[in-house]
Structure formats: C-alpha cells, structure tokens
Amino acid sequence: MSWLSSFPQMNEDTLRTLKKVIDENFRAFTRAYGDGIETLFTPLKWFLIEAERFTTQTPWPVIVILVAAIAWFASRNWRIVAGAVITLLLIGYFGMWEDAMRTISMIVVCTVLSIVIGLPIGIAMSRSDRLQSVVNPILDVMQTMPSFVYLIPVVMLLGIGKVPGLIAVVIYALPPMIRLTNLGIRLVDKDVLEAADAFGSSSWQKLKDVQLPLALPTIMAGINQTIMMALAMVVIAAMIGVQGLGQPVLKAIANQYFTLGIFNGLAIVGIAVVFDRVSQAYGRRLQKHLEVLHG
C-alpha cells in the first residue's frame, strides 16, 4: 500500500514534467514558426486597418446617415432608426466617437469573419451526423472556456496588437454562428425538400434555393448572437492592445475613474442594443417574407 500514499506526489511530479515539456515545445514552435504564422494574417490585418480607417476618418454626419440607412433597410422601423441615431449622437457628444468607431469596425470585421468561417462549417455539420458529433464537443469547449484563456496561445504566437485581439474575439464569438446555421438547415421541412427532389434539384440547388433561404431567420439569430458575444469580448481584447471603448474601461478600473468607466460601459451597451435591435428586426422581416412566400 506504500504506492498509494505516494501516489499524489508521483502524480504531481508527472504533471510538472508534462507541463514543462509542453511549455518548452510550444515556445520552440513559437520561435520557429511565429513569424510565418503572423505573415498569414497580413490580409486580415489590412482588412481591419482599412475598416478602422473608414469608420474613424469618415465625417461623423456620413456615418450617422449610413447607420440610419442600414437600420431602416433592416427594420423598416422609425423607432429603431431614431434609437440608432440618438445613440451615436450621444456617444459623440460625450467625446467617445473615435473609440466607438474603432469598436464598431472591430465588431463588423469579426462578424464578417465569423460568417465566412461559421457558415460553411454549419452547412457541413447539417449534412453529416458524424461531423456534427465531432464538432459539437469542440464548440462546447469554445463556449465554456474562460475568455482570458483564448488570449494565452494567441499572444504567445502573434504578440500584442490588433490581429491577436481580433482572432481571440472571433474564436469566442464563432460557436453561435456554426450552431444556428446547422440547426436552421436541419429544421427545414422535409416535405419541402422532397418537393425539391421531385423537381430534379441537385444538392447544390437544394442548398442555395431551398435550405439556406428557409434557414435564414435562424442564421440571422446566429449572427445576432455572434455580434453580442464579440461585444462582450471588447474589454478583454483591450488587454492585448485592441483599441476602442474597452481601453478607457480598463483605464477606469486601474485608476478608479468612475465616470470614465460608466460612460464607456454605457457606450458599449448602446452599440450592443443598436446591433441587437437592427439584426433582430431584420430576422423578423425575413421570417414574415418567407411566410408570405410559402403561405
């Protein structure tokens, strides 16, 4: 029974050795391939810089009109349009315009990337139960792992800056896009698919003309959740150099600036509410449009 009493110590020694080996190998990998991996993300960095340049250098009346036009197109609701415009004007009035524009550009880029990555994965999952059984546990880990943990490997590989922050935000915000794309396509009425088969539709035609249009409201809900989760990461991403409303919040926490933290926190909330209302309204419009077409 002596081995039983020494088991915790043996286990601790084994774990210490294992951790040391993993850490050393990861550092060696970072030194060997870090620069090459960083080069792969150059187009992403260019996309983010251009988006930020557009939002920060475009005159504020143009941005307000553009946001109002997008809100009207998505919702056809004057209350939502007025809410979006008033939110932006208040952000500008309290001197947070530039940081807010940086945050909005980050969220837009993250959302676009999440759609580009998540939509094909969700479609592939909807076509294969085996792939779904493999991907679902990965998504579970991505959604339950503390958001700070995402920053560790990304920062070690790419350092501190915009791109590492963007990658961390995308990893955190991606699961809802994948899950709801998969769910939306799987919920398409089997009778509709059988009718498409009867008309001789190919697999691609069924996906493009039947499944994706009918799943679009659910996919829009996924986009909405992706935006909300990306905004939730704004303050945490500021810790590794992502500029925007998150940095003043961190500054306020470090220096006990109550009003600075509250105002910038409320600005994040305001942007989140605008994105949420606009995307939800667009999803409802799509749903009604599809009900009319298939009613």
Given this model, what pLDDT does residue 194 score?
Answer: 81
Given this model, what pLDDT does residue 293 score?
Answer: 60
In degrees, rounded to 5, the angle at the alpha carbon of residue 156 between the alpha carbons of residues 244 and 104 is: 20
Of the candidates 153, 154, 147, 148, the one whose C-alpha atom is nearest the C-alpha of residue 174 is 147
Given this model, what pLDDT does residue 291 score?
Answer: 61
Q: What is the pLDDT of residues 116-163, one digit of tens each?
A: 999 999 999 998 889 999 999 988 888 887 777 777 777 777 777 778
CB atoms within 10 A of CB 160: 14
Distance CA 95, CA 97 (A): 6
Given this model, what pLDDT does residue 83 score?
Answer: 92
Distance CA 220, CA 213 (A): 11
Q: Position of tokens 């415009």?
A: 85
Given this model, what pLDDT does residue 2 score?
Answer: 52
Give one DSSP letter per residue of 220-287, joined into a string. HHHHHHHHHHHHHTHHHHGGGT--STHHHHHHHHHHT-HHHHHHHHHHHHHHHHHHHHHHHHHHHHHH
Q: What is the mean pLDDT of residues 173-197?
A: 87
* pLDDT category of residue 72 using cuts at 50, 70 and 90: very high
Q: Any idea how long the chain is?
A: 295
7 pLDDT higher than 60? no
Q: What is the mean pLDDT of residues 11-40?
A: 76
Question: Residue 59, class by beta-carbon neighbours within 10 Å (0-12 exposed, 13-18 middle, 19+ buried)?
Answer: exposed
Does the reported pTM lie above 0.85?
A: no
249 pLDDT higher than 70? yes
Given this model, what pLDDT does residue 125 score?
Answer: 92
6 pLDDT higher than 70? no
Given this model, what pLDDT does residue 81 score?
Answer: 93
294 pLDDT higher than 60? no
Given this model, what pLDDT does residue 8 score?
Answer: 55
* pLDDT category of residue 69 using cuts at 50, 70 and 90: very high
Q: What is the mean pLDDT of residues 166-181?
A: 89
Q: What percent of the chain has pLDDT over 70?
A: 93
